[in-house]
Chain A
Amino acid sequence: MRRTKHYRLAAAVLLAAAMSLTACSAGSSGGSEAKSAGKTSLTVALTGPPTNLDFTRTAGAAIPQALMSNVYEGLVKIDQDGRIQPSLAESWTLSDDRKTYTFKLHPGVTFSNGEAFTADDVKFSLERVKTGWVSSLKTKMDVVDSIDVLSDSEVEVKLSRPSNAWLFDMGTPVGAMFDPSGVQDLANKPVGTGPFTVESWKPGEAIAMTARDKYWGQAPKVKTLTLRYFADATATTNALRSGDVDVVYNMQAPELLPTFESDKSFQILDGTSNGKVELTMNNKVAPFNDVRVRRAVMYAIDRKAVLDTAWSGHGTLVGAPVPPTDPYYEDLNGVYPHDPGKAKALLKEAGAENLKITFTVPTRPYATAVSQIVVSELADVGIDATIETAEFPAVWLDKVFTKHDYQMSVILAVESRDLLTAFNNPNYYIGYDNSKIKDLAQTADAADEAGYVEGMKKVVRTITDDAAVDVLFLFPNLIVAKADVTGLPKNSVTEALDLTAAGWK
């Protein structure tokens, strides 16, 4: 009897002690002073490991994040400002009817299995998107009519209609170039033209890459590159402090940054990403099938306060589902200023006072953080939102994304240039009535570059005017790294994490 009592007392005291101890221990150990001279390896910490290495058959951003640019390359690539740059194609021309692209390929390019990269591989790779891919991204190649090999180094792609979006997509994973003899085991052995090859892959743990000897372009700065996967943001920053990793990419906990800001042995890069934190309202279901109620929500939410509280002020306010790296971006923050009075008036006009709604929140840190401030601000204008948590990804994808069984939700949409995927499709889970933008979008895609930008801006303004979605803020691309690491890509413009220029001072 006595003994158990003492145990229990001891346990309770220990618990209390442990709680206060953990509170003090984090952030006390210093960063390691790296001797960077002559370093030839770089280790990057990431969260969310890939399930295999084949992005042609498996959805999710983790695989292209690791492999695009590093192992695979496309004819073109997207630079840090979202512009299209030559890659495997030295140059290209566009016919007058804007439907035929002629690419001139870079000479002397080889795959990591030794095969030469030729126009035949371009034809093979692009046709394989339609026949061999099982990802939803494959629709991006639907516009391709035919591919003709003109010579070993020249290839002609005919589109069924002019498309500005297509060339950009060629710089994303769907444009990756494969060798016909190298696609047997993509899930384990990727074969690409990039500067690195996958040396080893431990599922759920790490991908190790080594630099190729015979790379056609600028050789990478490091010989070995390791991507290590961690359970959460705290684990990644702990690994950085203990010197196990050199870089934490796309850090998911901005609250942890202050402890690094004051430390000279670390650097912080705060770039932009494509990640739009969207407060989605089911446009087809009451009460959000009424544009006045949706507008009321837009006026009710103080997006600056959301950004400051939920994400410690890191991120960008955009006011529309378009990141600044898209050509048709414009600052639309002024359309719906924070105005609870106007929100209440709109709700009254719509006959939707004392509204009760269900707010389905996926179990992700950003979503939980955002949901509580949103609920508080909705309460201020008389909308009583009850939070219902949905396990992410399985339950959320099934309930909200697939079955459209929700009123309000919040999600981070990471796909690049997904404006039309999300809004030019009434069967998408947001359920936006696209009748007003359908023709605008079609005309814009077929127009010349200036016309494209102008047309797409009109599309964005229409969507914003209809309050189809409340884009709370643009996710930051936070990178914490040892101070002497250079060449890291600050912005995340496509899915790729391009480490070909990363190295040491």
Chain B
Amino acid sequence: MSEPTAAESVPQFSLPGLEPGPEPAAVVARRGRRKVSATLIVGAAVVVLVVLAALVSFFWTPYDPVKAFPVDRLQGSSAAHLMGTDRYGRDVFSGILYGARITLMVGLISVGIALVIGTPLGILAGMRGGFTEEATMRGADILLAFPALLVAIMFGAVFGASTTTAMVAIGIGSIPGFARVARSGTLQVMSTEYVLAARASSQNSFRIARRHVLPNIAGMVVVQCSVTFALAVLAEAALSFLGLGTPPPVPSWGRMLQESQQFLGTFPMLAVWPGAAIAVAVLGFNLLGDGLRDKFDPKLNGER
């Protein structure tokens, strides 16, 4: 986790002998670039695209994504059906739009669960230390050792497969990540002089957490949200693929992928569309996360 140096990020200018001075142009260039981070812009654009698709699906889809039109089944792309139709004659484009809604909902709720439970636990652990910290963090370790997907499969088996069980399971599986990030951030903040000052002036812990800790770790938590969102999207797709996510006939990208499995040899595009949708959405949230990290990470802040 060493901090990147100018040499690492722009190696072609940093070869010994080519650089005349200790303040290379590359550093200046990088500072400039960070302000308009391409990663952030591309990531945000993709995420906006997914959000737009989901919003549009509330008002309009070219066809009813659930209704079967057996006569029009298994058509290729055309003006009438942008991405063709599936085995039931349902419009794939409509399904992709509607699926974005499910994808976003699962991402939001599961990240929400992890955020609301994980962050306070992490702050508590970081501020209290001692037994509280040990108990919380070892608990997080145990949860982390248990694959989130397995938790989700177990939930699906016990409570029946549905979007809700998938969201809750993914949310629970993502708690440790938030707890860890919040704790490590809190530990850093707690060692600063202004927190010492606040404690010396006998402010209560809750006030310190709210006034000093939370604002300082917010950036890290936001980054964690974005990264977890990407994982949640992938997890939902995986669960739906296994038949443990959103039940049919509500369109979900993972299930669309699964349903097209048998048609790979004959109608490969059926798998390509939902596959691409998942890949693009995951990429978008990851890029957004990385872009935000560049902006918020306290380690990088110092360099600016």
- The residue on B at minimum CB distance from A363 is B243
Stretch at the interface among B97-105, B176-184, B206-214, B269-277: B269-277
- Asked whether any CB of chain B lies closer than 8 Å to the CB of A234, the reply is yes
Interface string of A2-44 (1 = CB under 8 A from B): 1001001100110110011011101100000000000000000
- The residue on B at minimum CB distance from A306 is B70
Question: Which B residues are CB-close (under 8 A) to A22?
Answer: 264, 271
Stretch at the interface among B128-136, B167-175, B278-286: B278-286
- The residue on B at minimum CB distance from A305 is B70
- Asked whether any CB of chain B lies closer than 8 Å to the CB of A87, the reply is no
**B88 and A258 within 8 A (CB):** no
- Which residues of A in the span 409-455 have a Cβ within 8 Å of any Cβ on B? none
B33 to chain A, nearest CB (A): 13
**A309 and B70 within 8 A (CB):** yes
- Asked whether any CB of chain B lies closer than 8 Å to the CB of A308, the reply is yes
A381 to chain B, nearest CB (A): 13
Can you give 26 contacting A-B residue pairs, CB < 8 Å?
A1-B4, A1-B300, A2-B8, A9-B286, A15-B279, A16-B276, A16-B279, A19-B257, A19-B272, A22-B271, A23-B269, A26-B265, A27-B265, A27-B266, A233-B262, A256-B262, A258-B266, A302-B70, A305-B70, A308-B70, A309-B89, A363-B243, A371-B249, A372-B68, A372-B248, A387-B249
A268 CA to B66 CA, complexed, in Å: 33
**A255 and B262 within 8 A (CB):** yes
- Asked whether any CB of chain A lies closer than 8 Å to the CB of B295, the reply is no
B72 to chain A, nearest CB (A): 11
**A255 and B160 within 8 A (CB):** no
Known: A19-B278, A255-B263. 15 other contacts (CB 8 A): A1-B3, A1-B297, A9-B286, A15-B279, A16-B275, A16-B283, A19-B271, A20-B272, A233-B262, A234-B262, A309-B87, A372-B68, A372-B88, A388-B247, A389-B247
B250 to chain A, nearest CB (A): 9
**A234 and B261 within 8 A (CB):** yes
A259 CA to B264 CA, complexed, in Å: 10
**A2 and B282 within 8 A (CB):** no
- Asked whether any CB of chain B lies closer than 8 Å to the CB of A379, the reply is yes
Interface string of B288-304 (1 = CB under 8 A from A): 00100100010110000
Point out the residue from A305, A375, A391 that lies within 8 Å of B249, measured CB to CB: A375
**A23 and B264 within 8 A (CB):** yes
**B68 and A309 within 8 A (CB):** yes
**A376 and B88 within 8 A (CB):** yes
A19 CA to B276 CA, complexed, in Å: 8
Question: Which A residues are CB-close (under 8 A) to B297?
Answer: 1
Point out the residue from A19, A302, A309, A376 that lies within 8 Å of B66, measured CB to CB: A376
Question: Which A residues are CB-close (under 8 A) to B66?
Answer: 375-376, 379
Interface string of B63-105 (1 = CB under 8 A from A): 0001110100100000000000001110000000000000000
- Asked whether any CB of chain B lies closer than 8 Å to the CB of A502, the reply is no
- Asked whether any CB of chain B lies closer than 8 Å to the CB of A368, the reply is yes
- Which residues of A in the span 302-344 have a Cβ within 8 Å of any Cβ on B? 302, 305, 308-310, 312
- Asked whether any CB of chain B lies closer than 8 Å to the CB of A253, the reply is yes
Number of A residues near B (Cβ < 8 Å) is 45
A9 CA to B282 CA, complexed, in Å: 10
Question: Which B residues are CB-close (under 8 A) to A5?
Answer: 39, 290
**A19 and B262 within 8 A (CB):** no
- The residue on B at minimum CB distance from A372 is B249
Most-contacted residue by chain A among B67, B248, B259, B299 (CB, 10 A): B248
**A368 and B243 within 8 A (CB):** yes
**B68 and A373 within 8 A (CB):** yes
- Asked whether any CB of chain B lies closer than 8 Å to the CB of A377, the reply is yes
Interface string of A369-411 (1 = CB under 8 A from B): 1011101110100000001111100000000000000000000
A9 CA to B269 CA, complexed, in Å: 24
- The residue on A at minimum CB distance from B88 is A309
- The residue on B at minimum CB distance from A377 is B68
- The residue on B at minimum CB distance from A399 is B160
A391 CA to B66 CA, complexed, in Å: 23
**B248 and A259 within 8 A (CB):** no
A20 CA to B272 CA, complexed, in Å: 6
A390 CA to B161 CA, complexed, in Å: 8
A376 CA to B283 CA, complexed, in Å: 34
Point out the residue from A2, A256, A361 that lies within 8 Å of B265, measured CB to CB: A256
Point out the residue from A19, A27, A379 that lies within 8 Å of B275, measured CB to CB: A19
- Asked whether any CB of chain A lies closer than 8 Å to the CB of B268, the reply is yes
A302 CA to B272 CA, complexed, in Å: 30
Question: Which B residues are CB-close (under 8 A) to A8?
Answer: 286, 290
B96 to chain A, nearest CB (A): 14
A373 CA to B87 CA, complexed, in Å: 10
Question: Which A residues are CB-close (under 8 A) to B293?
Answer: 1
A234 CA to B260 CA, complexed, in Å: 12
B149 to chain A, nearest CB (A): 16
A418 to chain B, nearest CB (A): 28
Question: Which A residues are CB-close (under 8 A) to B275?
Answer: 16, 19-20, 23
